[in-house]
Amino acid sequence: MQLRYTQPYEATLRQMRDSLLAQLREQRGGTVGRAEVAADRFSNAMDDRAQFTTEHDLDIALGEREAQELHDIDDALERIRLGRFGICTDCGAVIALARLQLSPYASRCLACQRKHEFGHEH
Ligand SMILES: [Zn+2]
C-alpha cells in the first residue's frame, strides 16, 4: 500500500528544504560555513546512503528546531524514495491527504502523532 502521486509532495518538501536552508543562511548573516557545507554534503549523501555522519554534523551545526525540521523533511524524502510516503510509521495506516497537504513531512497519522506528542511533551 502506497501513495501513487508523491511528486507534488516531493516538490513541496524540496522547496521547504531549500527555503529552510536559505533562512538559516540569512539568520547567520552569511557565516553559516559549516552548516552550509554539511547541508550540501548531506544532499549529496542522499544518493549514496552515507547520510548518518552528515546528519550528526547538521545537528551540531544548526539550531535544534531547524535541525529537527530539516531532519523531518529529509526523512519524508527518504520515505518517498522507499515508497513508504504517506504511511504512518507507527501503525501503518494511510495518513489523511488533508494532513499531508498541511505538513508533507508528517510521519504519523493524527492519532499516533497525538499519542507521540502527549508522551514526549517537554
Ligand atoms: Zn498511526
pLDDT of amino acid 42: 56
> Could you tell me which CATH class the domain 7-119 is placed in?
mainly alpha
Q: What is the pLDDT of residues 70-100, one digit of tens each?
A: 999 999 999 999 999 999 999 999 999 999 9
Cα(73)–Cα(68) distance, rounded to whole angstroms? Answer: 9
Give this prediction's pTM: 0.66
| Residue carrying the nine cell digits 505538513 | 103
Identify residues whose C-beta is under 5 A from ligand 1, the ion: 88, 90-91, 93, 109, 112
Sign of CA dihedral 28, 32, 38, 44: positive
Determine the distance separating the centroid of ligand 1 and the alpha carbon of 100, expressed in angstroms.
13
Determine the distance separating the centroid of ligand 1 and the alpha carbon of 51, expressed in angstroms.
26
